[in-house]
Structure 1
Amino acid sequence: MRLAETVTFGGSGLDRAEDIRRAPEELAKLRKDARMLLLWRGKPLLNPERDALAWVSPDHPVAMQGAEEVFLGRDAQGGLFARDVSDWEPLGADEPEIGAFVDPSEQSHPDLPKGTAFAELRQVMSGLTPRDAELAAMAKAILEWHRSHRFCSKCGGATQARKAGFQRKCDTCGGMHFPRTDPVVIMLITHGNSVLVGRSHGWPEGMYSLLAGFVDPGECLEAAVRREVWEEAGVRVGRVEYLASQPWPFPMSLMFGCWGEALDHEITVDVDEIEDALWVSKEDMMASFAGENPALKPARKGSIAQFLLQNWLADTLD
């Protein structure tokens, strides 16, 4: 697919400088004049306009109070790091709203630059530059991995960060642990002039997206596509082709966008898997994207689901 890497969170040519992760002295030199991205409960710090990441110096008082730190890479201006400051407790925080599927809340730290705020990445991802989007996705995913892997899966002992945040070592058994990425297939399933969409329980009213699911161990992408579509919607799929991928830091997935050709049109929804599924014609989907179909809200802007649907509508999948 010619436009594959233009998807949100796609490659921006970031120099991740893997060699620096293994060179403590070089890393320390690079850190002196580096920029630090702060994240609070997975929310990156954004500038006042909410269209770019906000950076602070590594020795900023708020950064110094943070927990895990990771080296993201470097650009023409120097080193790029990220730090988790989730231990901060903002006054008056709406706990039920924070972390919800749709979280419009923002948190402003009194000691950070005026106008900056921590905001949910889903809300702003489509407005960031490719570089900022890649950095935010990388930082959010790896810091989430640190938060959920503080103990060894082999013996239960405490683990400590190593290799500039890209490894954790068990203090007890010496086991080494590395950042994980969960493979997920997301499927553009077509039948003639229609595409198959579904909605999960708890989604905003009227919102439909492409079907998706985790790849099982020992399973290829094509088989995962066929299995997931059959399990969720009762539709058999024949030919399957890979289209594009998207890092999806919610919390640490890699979405494999695939196209599949349905062998039949009958839908049998498994309500334990999804709430609903339906076939939508190109004309109706175009109306949905144009905001002219109030009963059908399109997939979230910035998601690979919307990216694939847009290219399907424009006949630019190849």
Structure 2
Amino acid sequence: MPWAALDRADHLRHDPVALGALWAQSRVLLLDADGQALADAQRMPSTPRGEQLSEGPGGVGAATFLGLDPEGEAWFSLEAALTAFDAPQRIDLRSAATLWPAFPASVFAQARAVQHWRNRHRFCGVCGSPVAMQRGGWLGVCGGCGIEHYPRTDPAVIVAVGDGDRILLGRQSSWPERRWSVIAGFVEPGESLEQAVAREVAEETSLRVRSCHYLASQPWPFPSALMLGFIAQAEPDEPRVTEELEEARWFTVEEIRAAQARDDAAMDDGGPLLSPPISIARWLIEQWLARACATASSSGVR
């Protein structure tokens, strides 16, 4: 899963003088309290220069240094309420992921994830004292006990489960009507990724995974997950759902192709819908489909 990304430039985070020098000509992504980005009238990113906002990145780590783009231009993120700058639109991350080019969308994802962590770690979880941000906004230091706090990422497995001819998809009651997707869940303490795959599939569908292997990952800052994509083989039994899923069932190659065509044509004929194209869930479904078609073609040649 290729993603456009900034050079995080970790060596600059500990150098407030260098960050201050970059600020004036940097691009700044402004986020409101709900994590939405300020955007222009066309809902494209509104990224003022640092000099349009203030004389510097701010005291006590107000701005977060995100990194350098391929041209060497610095990028920061900042709470919009800390400035007098405004823009006509606000856009959430899911919408931006479908509307914006890959690079600014990835910057937004990074900024949103760090904002979520910072907003929930204003006070130390050990002693309750206020936490001050350092290293360009990537380190919180407790003013009481001195313990250091770093941004966290929650690993989650997401898996396309097949039985040789079909793929297993499930749906939650909170999803849009007729939406189906692959199985996913968070990795638990002391658990390997392979164990997490087998456990999640068993917990949600009562099916036994025979084998699995890793394919790719996708950062998923809703609010702070890293989705680790697998493909797996399971016993061809009928799934039995628990409270986590409303329904789960096997889909054939023909059904997945029809769902793809339905999505590509924006056609609403009442049939099943797949995960959005921006998600690793959809990519995993397409990987399974490509492999299933290749296997069928190979078998036909023989």
Please tell me the TM-score bracket, short chain as reference: 0.7 to 0.9
How far has the Cα of 1:73 moved from its partner?
0.5
CA distance in 1, matches of 2:82, 2:137: 18
Among 57, 62, 72, the alignment partner of 2:66 is: 72
CA distance in 1, matches of 2:287, 2:203: 26
How far has the Cα of 1:65 moved from its partner?
10
Counterpart of 1:150 in structure 2: which amino acid?
R
Higher deviation after alignment, 66-75 or 166-175: 66-75
Taking structure 1 as the reference length, the TM-score comes to 0.82
CA distance in 1, matches of 2:107, 2:95: 16
Find the counterpart in structure 1 of residue 31 from structure 2: 39
CA-based RMSD: 2.6
* 1:173-188 equivalences in 2 (<5 Å): 173-188=145-160
If asked which structure has higher relative contact order (CA below 8 Å, sep 6+), I would say 1
Identity across aligned pairs (percent)? 36
Taking structure 2 as the reference length, the TM-score comes to 0.87
Counterpart of 2:171 in structure 1: which amino acid?
R
Among 228, 241, 249, the alignment partner of 1:278 is: 249
Change (3 A) 1:86 1:259: farther
Report the secondary structure of 2:241's partner residue.
Answer: coil
How far has the Cα of 1:270 moved from its partner?
0.4
How far has the Cα of 1:175 moved from its partner?
0.8
| Alpha-carbon contact 1:186-1:255 (below 8 Å) kept | yes
| Alpha-carbon contact 1:150-1:159 (below 8 Å) kept | yes
> Where does the alignment leave 5 or more consecutive residues of structure 2 unmatched?
295-302
Find the counterpart in structure 1 of residue 174 from structure 2: 202
How far has the Cα of 1:286 moved from its partner?
1.3
Report the secondary structure of 1:28's partner residue.
Answer: helix
How far has the Cα of 1:316 moved from its partner?
9.5
| Alpha-carbon contact 2:167-2:288 (below 8 Å) kept | no
| Alpha-carbon contact 1:191-1:263 (below 8 Å) kept | yes
How far has the Cα of 1:61 moved from its partner?
5.0
| Alpha-carbon contact 1:65-1:85 (below 8 Å) kept | no
> Where does the alignment leave 5 or more consecutive residues of structure 1 unmatched?
89-108
CA distance in 1, matches of 2:229, 2:62: 32
* 1:151-166 equivalences in 2 (<5 Å): 151-166=123-138
Change (3 A) 1:86 1:130: same
How far has the Cα of 1:80 moved from its partner?
0.4
Alignment of 1:145 with 2:122, yes or no, is no
CA distance in 2, matches of 1:257, 1:202: 23
The count of corresponding residues between Structure 1 and Structure 2 is 285
Higher deviation after alignment, 289-298 or 198-207: 289-298
CA distance in 2, matches of 1:128, 1:135: 11
Alignment of 1:119 with 2:96, yes or no, is no
Q: What is the CA deviation profile of residues 250-281 of structure 1, one whole-angstrom value per residue up to 9, with x for unaligned ones?
A: 0011000001101232211002x122111111
How far has the Cα of 1:77 moved from its partner?
5.3
How far has the Cα of 1:204 moved from its partner?
1.1
| Alpha-carbon contact 1:68-1:146 (below 8 Å) kept | no
How far has the Cα of 1:185 moved from its partner?
0.3
Report the secondary structure of 1:312's partner residue.
Answer: helix
Alignment of 1:306 with 2:298, yes or no, is no
CA distance in 2, matches of 1:68, 1:232: 42
How far has the Cα of 1:45 moved from its partner?
2.5
Find the counterpart in structure 1 of residue 9 from structure 2: 17
Change (3 A) 1:32 1:316: farther
CA distance in 2, matches of 1:270, 1:207: 18
CA distance in 2, matches of 1:289, 1:309: 10
Change (3 A) 1:86 1:233: farther
Greater helix fraction, Structure 1 or Structure 2: 2
Change (3 A) 1:178 1:250: same
| Alpha-carbon contact 2:19-2:57 (below 8 Å) kept | no
CA distance in 1, matches of 2:65, 2:217: 24
Change (3 A) 1:281 1:87: farther
CA distance in 2, matches of 1:257, 1:153: 32
How far has the Cα of 1:136 moved from its partner?
1.0
Which has the greater radius of gyration?
A: 2
Higher deviation after alignment, 219-228 or 278-287: 278-287
Counterpart of 2:276 in structure 1: which amino acid?
R
CA distance in 2, matches of 1:219, 1:196: 23
Change (3 A) 1:64 1:15: closer
Q: What is the CA deviation profile of residues 146-201 of structure 1, one whole-angstrom value per residue up to 9, with x for unaligned ones?
A: 01111111112111111101010111111100000000000100112211111123
How far has the Cα of 1:87 moved from its partner?
8.1
